Amino acid sequence: MSAITTEDQLASFTLAAGFHSAATACGLKKNGALDLALVWSDMPCAAAGVFTTNRVQAAPVLVDHRTLKVASGRIRGVFANAGCANAVTGERGLADAYRMQALGARAIGAADDEVLVLSTGVIGVFLDMDRLAAGVTALRGPGAQTAPHAVTRAITTTDTRPKVASAEFTLAGRRVRLAGFAKGAGMIHPNMATMLAVITTDAAIDAAALDRALTAAVGHSFNRISVDGDMSTNDTVLVLANGASGATIASAAEEAAFVAALADVCASLARQIARDGEGATRLVELRITGGASEHQAHRVGDSIACSPLVKTAIHGNDPNWGRVLAAAGYSGEAIEPDKVRLWFGDGDAIQLLDRGLPVAFDKTKASGLLQHDPAIIHLDLGLGDASTTVWTCDFSAEYVSINADYTT
């Protein structure tokens, strides 16, 4: 699997075969940056989506839920905007989301229910539909930016960089490609996907199998990250499969290979989101082992990932391991403190806790290990064989600065 993350490599990023893209600025972002993106396929796609479980759901989330119920085997594209979340906007917001869907469909010659919509930005603000309608016209005009990396920028908000990833594998002698992009830096927390992401593939796979694959991939990627413990109203991950490669996913073995590749792409995007957390200076990888169940390991890891005390200690390179143990203890899981062991680092790891008791350690070395990117914390619960990995980031004063005056 190849993950493309640097500015130089971003220019070479491509979607899967048979997919096209366009981006433009229509004025939804105050700074005049790209804010409208369209991705579409030459042919109908099987599609699947995973959405926020927040009880407050944005209008585009509601529209996509309904659309996938009736048209998951014939989706043609995804139309997205930044600069306005179209969330908590009532019936008017829902009508605007449907109009947005219709505008996107008209741009690519599709039926209204063959386009999915995404929005991101400030909650409680109505979409400027006049600007959006003008933008759609521009998307299919000569001034539109058609390079795939342009659409990755058009959906960003407080992100400092685009997030893209791709994977390829061979199936029945044919090369299959998966390629996706995502946005997310704040309001990042499960349960679901914690951002916006669009993944394209040229494999042929039916909608039901694609839904199974996406659910499995999300469970160990986007549902294993946290920046600030806040779950958005707009979180959506979409995957579209158009079959342009001529390779069909038909057997259990083929589906397993596809799931593995999709999981790789999702995990790369998830790590990039956590690394780009608002104000973050490094990625943090929490390895939780020795769980009685994977659910327990995940809950413990999630609790640690959400702790402001843990995250600020990591930012300050302070090996205050007691904060890690305290966060594990209030996770709600029945851990047994006298069985817990704790390490910082990977190949050069040092142990700080052994079966619930402190271990003498070199504080300077421990501090240095927390400066690594990623900083690795390994907690073994001593209760079984289950394990998981959760990704988060450090917590700096810059996070407060970004969010203290977000709308003012």
Query: Rounded to the nearest 10 degrees, what angle do helices 322-329 and 308-315 cross at?
Result: 160
Rounded to an integer, what distance in angstroms lies between the CA atom of residue 37 and that of residue 21?
7
CB 23 within 8 A of CB 154: yes
Residue burial 18-34, b: 16+ Cβ < 10 Å; e: rest: bbebbbbbbebbeeeeb
Burial of residue 334 (number of CB atoms within 10 Å: 0-12, 13-18, 19+): exposed
CB 255 within 8 A of CB 206: no
> Which residues are the active-site residues?
194
Please report the beta strands in 186-332, taking only residues with DSSP state E, as ranges in sequence order: 196-201, 236-241, 283-291
Read off the amino acid at residue 345.
G
CB 384 within 8 A of CB 291: yes
Rounded to an integer, what distance in angstroms lies between the CA atom of residue 113 and that of residue 174?
31
Sole residue written with tokens 């790590």: 271
CB 51 within 8 A of CB 64: yes
Say which residues have a Cβ less than 8 Å from residue 40's Cβ, sequence separation at least 6. 19, 20, 21, 76, 77, 78, 108, 110
Rounded to an integer, what distance in angstroms lies between the CA atom of residue 210 and that of residue 259?
9
Rounded to an integer, what distance in angstroms lies between the CA atom of residue 63 and that of residue 256?
30
Say which residues have a Cβ less than 8 Å from residue 156's Cβ, sequence separation at least 6. 82, 162, 183
Q: Both tokens of residue 359? A: 């271990």
Judged by DSSP in three states, 139 sits in: helix
